[in-house]
């Protein structure tokens, strides 16, 4: 192993000891081999690590500026090479975050956690990891509270854990779902003897967060931000106006194919990436003109069937991170600094506008491609929440009301 991969391996070991995730550790090791390949490509010696890192970081900075990679991928590699250089120079690397402490379990609970994560019935790896993570948190709580195995665990223990954990998580419904999955597995195997279905079926109060939307003026400023005299600007404008007009998710905008548009009927037909449900939307004149302009005057020649391609060679398909990066860049150009405002704000804004226009919930769900159309479910409900300004318009004045009693 040459010097650079060895530095990456040493950095990975340090970060692993500090509790960084396995995904970050894999990227660090990969970054070492990328840096070694770059050194050989530049024709530099192993002693010129500083020059190699400068050129490598510059390449990734250019890729991020061209919106070929997400800011997360870019930032991880920049921090990695800076820390490798610090180790090479005998300095202690700067740690920009406090790593989460790892959960330590006894052998009994550790075997159960591994077993839950390795079951073959999971529909996705993310669900498997989520349920395993919740199970590990439950096992750690039980062990700390004197339950060395599941034989003495009661439904009251599960209830206390759920309530304590709910106070520290963002998505309480996700916690309850993954906890129910883990408990069902343990109950079916005979290890957990108490009944948890009634406890986990109870509603848990959670904070209803109001996610930011866009005003009409802000949407106009974002749509005017791309430089439409350049091919990349034509692409960016077409993606942005698609999101603002149709409310499509970033992943769906990135995956639109040339065959998905019926120009004669003026329709856009896609299969949504999140739900795998088909969706047919009208192609308005503004959206159609923007997409047509990009295809005819900005889209590079490529064998890819996706409409939106990378802005530089090799001209391949883009991902959701590219669409999100375009929105973030245009939002900055427009001078909009609202926190937690991403491409999905187009979708929330459209839903809020439909609600304000007194469109019924099933129609809103159908227009946004939700799977449940027959009632006001959680998907439609999020668009019905009002901000402070809207609520103040509904508030009743107290003038003329006489108070009885004193304060």
pLDDT digits (tens, 9 = 90+) for 58-74: 888 877 777 677 777 88
Predicted confidence at residue 71, as pLDDT, reads 77
Q: What is the pLDDT of residue 398?
A: 47
pLDDT band of 31, cuts 50, 70, 90: confident
Q: Check if the beta carbon of residue 61 is closer than 8 Å to that of residue 43.
A: no
71 is catalytic: no
For residues 265 and 304, what is the distance between their CA atoms, to the nearest angstrom? 24
Residue 143: is its pLDDT beyond 80?
yes
Q: Is residue 160 annotated as a catalytic residue, yes or no? A: no
**pLDDT value, residue 149:** 86
What pLDDT digit, counting tens, does each position of 200-225 carry?
765 555 455 567 788 999 999 999 99
Helices 344-356 and 231-246 cross at an angle (nearest 10°) of 40
Catalytic pick from 67, 176, 249, 352? 249
The one catalytic residue among 79, 180, 331, 347? 347
344 is catalytic: yes
Q: Does the annotation mark 174 as catalytic?
A: no
Q: pLDDT confidence of 376, banded at 50, 70, 90?
A: very low
Residue 163: which pLDDT band, with cuts at 50, 70 and 90?
confident
How many CB atoms lie under 10 A from the CB of residue 103? 16
Active site residue 315: no
68 Cβ neighbours under 8 A, 6+ residues apart? 310, 311, 312, 322
pLDDT tens profile 92-128: 887 755 545 556 688 888 888 888 888 887 777 778 8
Amino acid 360: pLDDT: 64
Average pLDDT rounded to a whole number, residues 300-319: 88
Reported as a pLDDT band with limits 50, 70 and 90, residue 366 is: low
Q: Comparing 360 with 397, which gets the higher pLDDT?
A: 360
pTM of the model: 0.53
The mean per-residue pLDDT over the stretch 281-302 comes to 93
230, 274, 332, 372: which is the annotated catalytic residue?
274
Query: How high is the pLDDT of residue 390?
Result: 54
Told to judge if 383 belongs to the known catalytic residues of this protein, a careful annotator would answer yes
Distance CA 236, CA 65 (A): 14
Active-site pick, 147, 160, 191, 344: 344
pLDDT band at 394 (very low <50, low <70, confident <90, very high): very low
231 pLDDT higher than 90: yes
| Of 300 and 401, the one with more pLDDT | 300
Q: Which two tokens stand for residue 244?
A: 């603002």
Percent of the chain whose pLDDT exceeds 70: 81
- In this prediction, residue 405 carries a pLDDT of 46
Q: Which of 61-70, 246-255, 329-338, 389-398 has the lowest mean pLDDT?
A: 389-398
Catalytic residue among 20, 74, 109, 383: 383
Q: Is the pLDDT of residue 312 over 70?
A: yes
């Amino acid at each position: 192993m040459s010097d650079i991969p060895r530095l990456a391996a040493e950095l990975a070991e340090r970060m692993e000891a500090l509790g960084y995730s396995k995904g970050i550790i894999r990227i660090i090791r990969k970054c070492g081999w990328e840096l070694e390949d770059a050194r050989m490509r530049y024709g530099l010696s192993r002693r010129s690590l500083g020059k190699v890192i400068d050129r490598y970081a510059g390449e990734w900075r250019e890729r991020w500026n061209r919106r070929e990679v997400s800011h997360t991928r870019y930032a991880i590699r920049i921090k990695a090479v800076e820390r490798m250089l610090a180790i090479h120079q005998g300095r202690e690397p700067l740690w920009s975050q406090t790593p989460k402490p790892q959960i330590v379990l006894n052998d009994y609970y550790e075997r159960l956690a591994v077993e839950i994560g390795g079951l073959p019935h999971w529909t996705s790896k993310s669900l498997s990891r989520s349920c395993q993570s919740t199970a590990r948190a439950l096992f750690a709580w039980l062990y700390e509270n004197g339950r060395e195995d599941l034989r003495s665990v009661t439904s009251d223990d599960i209830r206390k854990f759920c309530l304590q954990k709910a106070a520290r998580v963002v998505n309480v419904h996700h916690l309850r779902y993954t906890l129910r999955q883990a408990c069902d597995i343990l109950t079916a195997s005979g290890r957990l003897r108490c009944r948890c279905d009634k406890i986990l079926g109870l509603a848990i109060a959670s904070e209803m967060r109001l996610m930011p939307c866009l005003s009409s003026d802000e949407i106009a400023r974002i749509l005017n931000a791309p430089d439409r005299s350049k091919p990349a600007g034509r692409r960016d404008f077409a993606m942005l106006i698609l999101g603002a007009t149709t409310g499509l998710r970033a992943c769906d905008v990135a995956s639109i194919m040339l065959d998905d548009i019926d120009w004669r009927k003026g329709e856009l037909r896609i299969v949504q990436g999140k739900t795998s449900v088909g969706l047919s939307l009208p192609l308005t004149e503004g959206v159609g003109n923007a997409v047509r302009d990009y295809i005819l005057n900005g889209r590079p020649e490529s064998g890819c069937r996706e409409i939106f391609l990378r802005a530089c060679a090799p001209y391949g398909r883009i991902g959701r991170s590219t669409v999100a990066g375009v929105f973030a860049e245009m939002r900055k150009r427009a001078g909009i600094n609202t926190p937690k405002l991403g491409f999905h704000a187009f979708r929330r804004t459209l839903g809020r506008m439909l609600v304000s226009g007194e469109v019924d919930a099933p129609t809103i769900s159908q227009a946004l491609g939700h799977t449940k159309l027959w009632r006001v479910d959680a998907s439609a409900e999020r668009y019905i929440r009002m901000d402070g300004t809207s609520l103040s318009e509904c508030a009743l004045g107290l003038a003329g009301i006489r108070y009885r009693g004193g304060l």
